[in-house]
Structure 1
Amino acid sequence: MLIRGLAGLAAILLAWLAAVHLFGVPDYLLPAPLAVARRMVFLHENARLLDHVAVTLGQLAWGYLLGLVLGIAAAIAFARAPIVERLSMPLVLLLQTAPKIAIAPLLLLWLGLGPAPKIVLVAIVTFFPIMTGVLSGLRFLPGSYRDLARVLRLSPWQRFVHIELPATLPTLLAGMTVASTLAVTAVVIGELMGANRGIGYLLAAGQESADTATVIGMVLLLSFIGWALYELFELVRRRTEERFGRV
């Protein structure tokens, strides 16, 4: 899959290069790939590009971790206490259906311009796919597994660690894979709304100065990050299925 993806990327770059040269597209509309690469090198040497990448990845990681913990905890609570799900689901759906670009300004007003609003926004978008993945796995857990837990007199924590978590691992990893791509979008939205560091900040700065090469470079960088995360979780999911089989 990775080789096919790289081949597709190479084809896109060739088509991009051909379009620029054949149709004479001006640089301010669509710079050539080499011009974008030069701009990225310039940003690395003069604008500490790697520091901005580290800021974005840090916010992404903390927000994803928060969404993961909350999603798993909520799924367990919903599976064991349906009344909790009925009371909480309207709020969960409200947060998921509300445009994230509309939520971001509120988080900035409440939490300031620091990393907190970006982390919370990432947690919001990652929570739902992880929660639904784990909840689906718990709901379709074979009855024999529950009978085994009762026979062995496992505590709720032991039942989760030794029975429920392994059984829901495929659906959990599927939810984590989907959440990884959403997380990249969320952290950039947060940085576009208000930040003084990060990839989204550089993207907004390039837009304000009509620097098309910077904008395209940041978009490509974000796309590579999202692609890398997706491939990573897909690899973990496939290896898990090979080792433990499908549930």
Structure 2
Amino acid sequence: MILRGIAGLIATLVLWTAVVHLFNVPAYLLPGPVEVLSRIAFLYENAKLLRHIGVTLSEIVAGFVFGTIAGILSGVVFARLPRVERFSTPLILLLQTAPKIAIAPLLLLWLGIGPTPKIVLIAIVTFFPVMQGMVTGLRYGEGSFRDLAKVLKLSPWQSFWHIELPSAHPAVLAGMAVATTLAMTAAVIGELMGANEGLGYLLSSGQENSDTAVVIGMVVLLSLIGWAFYEVIELIRRCSIGRFQLN
């Protein structure tokens, strides 16, 4: 899959270069790949690009981890206590359906311009798909879980750890895979709304200076980071699927 993705990227670069040269597109509208790479190299040498990448990555990882933990724990509670789920669902849905570009300014007002509001926003968008995956996974075949636990005379904890959690594992990882793309979007929104470092900040600076090459370069970098993040989750899924299979 990774090799096919790389082949697709190369084909896109070739097509991009051909369009720019064949149609003589002005650089201020659509610079070619060489111009974009040159601008990225300039930012690396003169604008501490690696630091900005590190800031964005740290925000994404922290928010994703917090959101995943909260989603898994909430999924367990909701699967066990349907009344709590019914009570909490309207609030969760309101939070998830509210435009994130509208939530970001509120978080900036409440939490300041540092990394905290970005981390919270990423955790919010990560929470729902992971929680939904956990609830779905635990409830799938719930009757069979109970019967098997009784036959094996397992304690509630043993039943959860050895039977229910392995069964919910694929659904949770599917939710995490969805959350990777949402986390990237939330990180960029948070940095566009207010930041003094990060790739979203560089993107915003490029937009303000009408520097199309910088804007495209930051979009490319963010897309590559998002792709890599998704592949990491997929690798975890493939490596752990055998371990969590039911015997």
Greater mean deviation of Cα atoms: 139-148 or 107-116: 139-148
Distance 1:58 1:14 in 2: 32
> What amino acid sits opposite 2:119 in the alignment?
I
For 1:177, the equivalent position in structure 2 comes to 177
Q: How does 1:1-247 map to 2 (within 5 A)?
A: 1-150=1-150, 152-156=153-157, 158-242=158-242, 244-245=244-245
Distance 2:35 2:160 in 1: 53
Contact 1:170 1:246 in 2 (8 A): no
Distance 1:189 1:149 in 2: 46
| Shift of residue 160, structure 1, vs aligned partner | 3.0
The normalised TM-score by structure 1 is 0.94
| Shift of residue 172, structure 1, vs aligned partner | 0.7
- For structure 2, which runs of at least 5 residues remain unmatched after alignment? none
> What amino acid sits opposite 2:165 in the alignment?
L
Query: How large is the Cα RMSD of the aligned pairs?
Result: 1.7
CA separation of 1:76 and 1:243: change in aligned 2, threshold 3 A: closer
> What amino acid sits opposite 1:168 in the alignment?
A
Distance 1:239 1:142 in 2: 26
| Shift of residue 6, structure 1, vs aligned partner | 1.0
Distance 2:56 2:216 in 1: 17
Q: Number of matched residues?
A: 246
The normalised TM-score by structure 2 is 0.94
Classify the secondary structure of the residue corresponding to 1:210: coil
Distance 1:97 1:170 in 2: 25
| Shift of residue 243, structure 1, vs aligned partner | 5.1
Identity in percent: 62
> What amino acid sits opposite 1:146 in the alignment?
R
Classify the secondary structure of the residue corresponding to 2:136: helix
Contact 2:166 2:246 in 1 (8 A): no
Contact 2:169 2:244 in 1 (8 A): no
| Shift of residue 149, structure 1, vs aligned partner | 3.7
Distance 1:237 1:134 in 2: 15
| Shift of residue 155, structure 1, vs aligned partner | 4.2
CA separation of 1:240 and 1:153: change in aligned 2, threshold 3 A: closer
- For structure 1, which runs of at least 5 residues remain unmatched after alignment? none
Distance 1:66 1:12 in 2: 35
